[in-house]
Amino acid sequence: MSHVAFGDRLRSVFDTRGPLCVGIDPHGHLLDEWGLPASADGVRDFGLRVVEAVADVVGIVKPQVAFFERYGSRGLSALEDVIAAGREAGLLVIADAKRGDIGSTMDAYGDAWLDDDSPLRSDALTVSPYLGFASMGGVTTRARAAGAGLFVLGATSNPEARGTQTAVVAEGARTGRPLASGIVEDVLDDNLQAGETRLGSVGLVLGATVPLADYGIDVARLTTTPILAPGFGHQGARYSDLRDRYGAAAGSVVVSASRALLAHGPHGIADAARRDTDEVRTCLA
């Protein structure tokens, strides 16, 4: 089966619907506020309501896998339904699973989340490179073959990560660089070697609250690299920060907002997403 490259699909969404991504994070307090039970049925209903509400407003949704996994097999079944509904509605679905392992185990994660026949089939998957970027060779190959994408954790928005992600690499090709900077270089090289010069299939997670220069990251080099940017809304980043934070690469950013939109409830989220989409477009104009 022939697939359109993920980068091309993402660029098409940017051009037609904008870069806003709605996180599907069924926190316990949000389930309560939405009048839903803290159960597999509750998270299924929550996710399906989000998809239905925003399907004509945005082009990207991002289910946080952990909130479904906590209900075991029934929670994963609920996630399968939410992912399928999102893709059937024409949305790009990013599974926020942050998977990371080595060899055949990492390959199996690729099969689980990116294979056409998998019930968890998503358009993109968040992955962790902290067992070595080369350990993900199999899953990057699988992603491209499936027309899917990866978002590799680079500089994340949680403050606990700073010490690890700014630690200096002691050996290898990235010696002397902050670890996050080395990961960025690995992603740039991977997309270049694949011949993806418009917008790559392998992107980066670069938090919107992170001072990226402190991590040795030159955002001017990321204009052809998809960037998943959490941290807008509840975590404090503003859409007006986009140009300052990402510079010339701002047009490659998936602008992720979760709790700030979900807090508007099932009947208000569509209007909130519409307002935020318009604001993001204004900030990028």
Torsion sign, CA atoms 86, 249, 200, 211:
negative
- The verdict on whether 98 is a catalytic residue reads yes
210 is a domain residue:
yes
Which element (helix H / strand E) includes 232? Answer: strand 227-232
255 is a domain residue:
yes
Cβ pair 17, 255 in contact under 8 A: no
23 is a domain residue:
yes
254 is a domain residue:
yes
Query: In whole angstroms, how far apart are CA 69 and each of 81, 153, 227?
Result: 13, 20, 25
How many domains are there within the chain? 1
| Reduced 3-state DSSP string for 29-81 | HHHHHCCCCCCHHHHHHHHHHHHHHHCCCCCEEEEECHHHHCCHHHHHHHHHH
CATH number at 236 reads 3.20.20.70
pLDDT tens digits, 113-139: 999 999 999 999 999 999 999 999 999
Catalytic residue among 11, 17, 98, 274: 98
Distance in angstroms (rounded) separating the CA atoms of residues 30 and 83: 19
80 is a domain residue:
yes
58 is a domain residue:
yes
pLDDT tens digits, 83-109: 999 999 999 999 999 999 998 999 999
Distance in angstroms (rounded) separating the CA atoms of residues 175 and 185: 12
257 is a domain residue:
yes
Cβ pair 13, 59 in contact under 8 A: yes
pLDDT tens digits, 61-72: 999 999 999 999
pLDDT tens digits, 220-249: 999 999 999 998 877 778 999 999 999 999
Domain with 193 in it: 6-284
